[in-house]
Amino acid sequence: MLIVRKIREMQSIAETVRKDKIIGFVPTMGFLHEGHLSLVRKSKEMTDVTVVSIFVNPIQFGPNEDFEMYPRDLERDRSLLEKEKVDVLFIPEKDEMYGEDYKTYVRVQEMEDYLCGKTRKGHFQGVATVVTKLFNIVKPHLAFFGQKDYQQLKIIEKLVRDLNMDVNIVACPTIREPDGLAMSSRNTYLSQEERKKAQHIYMALIKAEELFKKGERNAKKLVEEARNLLSSVEGLEIEYISVVDCETLEELEWINDSGVVAIACRIGKTRLIDNTILRRYEHDESHDEIKDSQGKGY
């Protein structure tokens, strides 16, 4: 695995490789887990050369957030990526990405204000900016993102469309612990007791899914049931539970064909997010027919 620290070097490698190979890119902030590795495996499957970046992006953290204490373990990450046969690991320093005179930021209006954007001011501007820079550096054909960070995924898809970037975004499913908790580098902050409480987030999403499958379409009802479940967990503070449009992320009152239930909460000092997509009609690729959520064919 080639380790690259300099932007110029990464760009020149990408330029050469791109001539006759498909480049897959997985941007991360490190402290890798199976969720990250699932994106890496998808890239290995779909492309010729896989580039992974590890960069804890300072401009997506607010002043009172966990930039300094964000978990880091480069040696462990490096050996995990070696095992996955990743071709290039790009690990720029902060100063390499943002010089002293740095001035340019990318914003995706409205979409950055919903859900996590309400409390994490400037977060998605930081994400959109770093992803734009990384795309210009790594020049990927395909870039892989997790559904776990649903708002981030949709903002990046929009950014790529609006700015006519020559890259395809591949959305990958959320990888979970056996009890359902979505894998996250931040799970490492949880004490044993907090970790047990955290599984209720997934249970609340399942509850909403079940109601939806039974025919409930009123978003308020789904939110209420999920809220009831989470409110009973001592020490768990709900930041939001929302049902939003899958593309625009606007809050829904009523779910017609699809919607996303998104949850953010705090357990102790740890902020956790998760979501599930509700769809009335599932597209079953194996049979190439439209099915509703109860499996009835059309």
Is 189 among the residues that bind ligand AMP (CB under 6 A)? no
Min separation Cβ 143 and ligand AMP, Å: 9
Min separation Cβ 287 and ligand AMP, Å: 26
In whole angstroms, how far apart are CA 59 and each of 107, 111, 123, 205?
13, 18, 7, 30
Is 175 among the residues that bind ligand AMP (CB under 6 A)? yes
Min separation Cβ 176 and ligand AMP, Å: 7
Site track 113-152 with ligand AMP (rule: CB under 6 A), x = hit: --------------------------------xx-xx---
Min separation Cβ 157 and ligand AMP, Å: 12
Is 28 among the residues that bind ligand AMP (CB under 6 A)? yes
Task: Report how many residues bind ligand AMP under the rule CB under 6 A.
Answer: 17
The Cα 43–Cα 47 span in angstroms is 6
**In this complex, which beta carbon is closest to ligand AMP, that of residue 32 or of residue 226?**
32
Q: Which of 263, 277, 271 is closest to 115 using CA atoms?
A: 263
Give the interface segment with ligand AMP, choosing from 92-100, 178-186, 215-223, 260-268 (CB under 6 A): 178-186
C-alpha angle with apex 66: 64 to 70, nearest 5 degrees? Answer: 165
Contacts of 69 (CB under 8 A, 6+ apart): none
Is 183 among the residues that bind ligand AMP (CB under 6 A)? yes
Is 29 among the residues that bind ligand AMP (CB under 6 A)? yes
Catalytic residue check, 33:
no
One-letter amino acid identity for 103? K
**In this complex, which beta carbon is closest to ligand AMP, that of residue 114 or of residue 145?**
145
Find residue 142's DSSP bridge partners.
Answer: 24, 168
Is 182 among the residues that bind ligand AMP (CB under 6 A)? yes
Min separation Cβ 26 and ligand AMP, Å: 7
The Cα 114–Cα 251 span in angstroms is 8
Catalytically annotated residue among 36, 123, 141, 287: 36
**In this complex, which beta carbon is closest to ligand AMP, that of residue 73 or of residue 225?**
73
What's the longest Cα–Cα distance across the chain?
59
The structure tokens listed for 70 are 């964000």
Is 275 among the residues that bind ligand AMP (CB under 6 A)? no
The Cα 1–Cα 164 span in angstroms is 31
Contacts of 31 (CB under 8 A, 6+ apart): 70, 71, 72, 73, 77, 185, 188
The Cα 208–Cα 226 span in angstroms is 6
Is 155 among the residues that bind ligand AMP (CB under 6 A)? no
- For the chain, the 3-state helix, strand and coil shares in percent, each to the nearest 5, are 40, 25, 35
Q: Rule CB under 6 A: which of 30-49 touch ligand AMP?
A: 35-36, 38-39
Is 200 among the residues that bind ligand AMP (CB under 6 A)? no
Is 172 among the residues that bind ligand AMP (CB under 6 A)? yes
The structure tokens listed for 284 are 């079953």
One-letter amino acid identity for 276? T
Min separation Cβ 34 and ligand AMP, Å: 7
Positions that interact with ligand AMP (CB under 6 A): 28-29, 35-36, 38-39, 145-146, 148-149, 172, 174-175, 182-185
Residues annotated as catalytic are 36
